[in-house]
Amino acid sequence: MENRQDRLAGFIVTMFFYFWASYVFRNLPDTPPVAAHFVLGTFLAVCGAWMCTIFYKVSLHAVAMGGLVGFAIIFSRQDVYASGLYLAIPVLIAGIVCSSRLILGAHNRFEMISGFLLGILAQSVAWLI
């Protein structure tokens, strides 16, 4: 969406969905904690992106890639059998996606970096909760 005002209605629906999914995942007895943390991190990332969008057009692609890389970092530190691929593949995918958004001129560096850091922060906070 070109205009940041157009995004606000979509955020409300998305936040409601991820809040509901996070609530369900936390209360189901057989849900792996990793999945519940990931969905909560996604909800927090959408909430943070919504707040940023009020002031400027944050890159939602970068938020998603930051969340992916943040989750990979946290998960690779928790898993006994983790290899370098746990982190290398998400970083490669994030680099391709974020570079393409910059090349297309859809966002500037500030919007990309702030979105990426927001995604990492959201997954980190979700893991601590």
Query: What is the spatial distance between Cα 6 and Cα 38, in angstroms, rounded to a whole number?
Result: 27
Per-residue confidence (pLDDT) for residue 3, from 0 to 100? 65
Residue of 42, 17, 15, 52 lying closest to 127 (CA atoms): 42
Q: How confident is the model at residue 83 (pLDDT cuts 50, 70, 90)?
A: confident
pLDDT per residue over 2-41, tens digit each? 666 677 778 888 999 999 999 999 999 898 888 899 999 9
Contact 44, 125 (CB under 8 A): yes
Q: How many CA atoms lie within 13 A of 83 on its CB side?
A: 2
Contact 114, 53 (CB under 8 A): no
Query: What is the spatial distance between Cα 56 and Cα 38, in angstroms, rounded to a whole number?
Result: 26
Which amino acid makes up residue 78? Answer: Q
Length of the chain: 129
Per-residue confidence (pLDDT) for residue 114, from 0 to 100? 95
Query: What is the spatial distance between Cα 31 and Cα 7, in angstroms, rounded to a whole number?
Result: 31
pLDDT at residue 64 is higher than 90? yes
Per-residue confidence (pLDDT) for residue 86, from 0 to 100? 81
Greatest pairwise CA separation for the chain in angstroms = 45
